[in-house]
């Protein structure tokens, strides 16, 4: 395996939620997750809405102050003090290409903002040239530099967002559902661009998405989250072919596959009920309320991730 770039250890992110007048209880959005991402590698992070995958991405970049745990970037502990400096190396691409670009700024100013903030360009000419270079990298027409974000389609806006993230030449980008707001034919354009950029610039991605097919396509390894916990983490193909955790199993079987013969032939495992609210987490294993194999032990203690061989980590008592 390549050298470790990002090392997340026991990351916890709780949010206080008001109940009643003066009492607050913690909402455990991310509860004790650990993983590593190698240089130039892609880790996919999948899970359903509310499982904490977006929060995880944001607390790694310290957009929230983590409740506990550490993030090491390139061997260096990320703290409040060095975060501004670190942001030159760690960037983010957002889900919504509409709300993540300031409507009052031109494309040039949006892409140029990181350059200004980190004072990466000494004069206006250099800044302008760098911006045009970035626009070309993401496949935007240079004549569009003076236009406003709202004049572009979703895919083009996402390109602007990616150019903004690339401006500081980062080593690591958190991609928070970067294609889920786009049309199918445009998704492929953006996914291909992510892959090309990785080949060319050697950036590592944390690719957060709920679309398993897309995540499987782009990722080397995949981590599956459920209610703030990572329940399984393995190489993409291994996870897809031999899912161990019951949740992963049913998640994979529930994905509609765009191939009539395959999708109609396979056996679907339909999960009962809904995801519990993160405020009312079941005791023990968070998945036990919907799990087919649940035993009394599952209600008592939460299983830790254990290696099932070949770097395939699973958190389950039964399987």
Residue 132 or 168 with smaller CB distance to another protein: 168
Q: Judged by CB under 8 A, which stretch of 4-12, 126-134, 264-272, 296-304 contacts another protein?
A: 264-272
77 sits near another protein (criterion: CB under 8 A): no
Q: Judged by CB under 8 A, which stretch of 5-13, 19-27, 96-104, 295-303 contacts another protein?
A: 96-104
120 sits near another protein (criterion: CB under 8 A): no
Local structure of residue 236 (DSSP, 8 states): H
Characterize the bridge pairing of strands 313-314 and 229-235. Answer: antiparallel
Task: Tell me the C-alpha distance between 301 and 153, whole Å.
Answer: 49
Residue 1 or 254 with smaller CB distance to another protein: 254
Q: What's the token pair of residue 226?
A: 């459920």
258 sits near another protein (criterion: CB under 8 A): yes
250 and 244 Cβ atoms separated by less than 8 Å: no
288 sits near another protein (criterion: CB under 8 A): no
Task: Tell me the C-alpha distance between 102 and 105, whole Å.
Answer: 6
25 sits near another protein (criterion: CB under 8 A): no
Task: Tell me the C-alpha distance between 78 and 174, whole Å.
Answer: 15
279 sits near another protein (criterion: CB under 8 A): no
Q: How far is the CB of 117 from another protein (least distance, A)?
A: 5
Q: How far is the CB of 177 from another protein (least distance, A)?
A: 11
Q: Which residues pair with 43 in a beta bridge?
A: 206, 221
Query: Residues touching another protein: how many (CB under 8 A)?
Result: 77
Question: What is the sign of the dihedral through the CA atoms of 302, 228, 40 and 234?
Answer: positive
Task: Tell me the C-alpha distance between 221 and 231, whole Å.
Answer: 14
Judged by CB under 8 A, the residue of 114, 278, 286, 303 near another protein is 114
Q: Judged by CB under 8 A, which stretch of 33-41, 263-271, 291-299, 311-319 contacts another protein?
A: 263-271
């Amino acid at each position: 395996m390549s050298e470790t770039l990002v090392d997340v250890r026991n990351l916890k992110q709780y949010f206080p939620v008001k109940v009643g007048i003066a009492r607050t209880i913690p909402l455990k959005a991310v509860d004790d997750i650990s993983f590593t991402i190698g240089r130039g590698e892609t880790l996919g992070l999948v899970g359903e809405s509310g499982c904490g995958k977006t929060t995880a991405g944001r607390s790694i970049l310290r957009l929230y102050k983590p409740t506990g745990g550490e993030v090491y970037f390139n061997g260096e502990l990320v703290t409040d003090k060095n975060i501004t400096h670190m942001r030159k190396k760690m960037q983010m691409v957002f889900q919504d290409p509409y709300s993540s670009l300031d409507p009052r700024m031109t494309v040039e100013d949006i892409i140029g903002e990181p350059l200004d903030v980190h004072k990466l360009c000494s004069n206006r000419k250099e800044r302008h040239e760098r911006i045009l270079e970035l626009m070309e990298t993401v496949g935007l027409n240079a004549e569009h530099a003076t236009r406003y974000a709202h004049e572009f389609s979703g895919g083009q806006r996402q390109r602007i967002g990616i150019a903004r993230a690339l401006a500081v030449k980062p080593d690591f980008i958190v991609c928070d559902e970067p294609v889920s707001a786009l049309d199918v034919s445009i998704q492929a354009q953006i996914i291909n661009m992510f892959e090309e950029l990785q080949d060319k610039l050697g950036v590592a991605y944390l690719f957060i998405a709920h679309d398993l097919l897309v995540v499987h396509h782009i990722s080397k390894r995949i981590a599956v989250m459920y209610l703030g916990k990572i329940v399984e983490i393995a190489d993409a193909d291994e996870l897809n072919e031999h899912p161990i955790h019951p949740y992963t199993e049913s998640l994979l079987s529930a994905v509609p596959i765009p191939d009539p013969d395959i999708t109609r032939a396979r056996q679907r495992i339909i999960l009962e009920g809904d995801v519990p609210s993160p405020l009312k987490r079941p005791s023990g294993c968070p998945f036990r309320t919907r799990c087919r194999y649940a035993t009394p032990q599952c209600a008592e203690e939460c299983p830790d991730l254990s290696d099932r061989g070949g770097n395939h980590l699973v958190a389950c008592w039964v399987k």
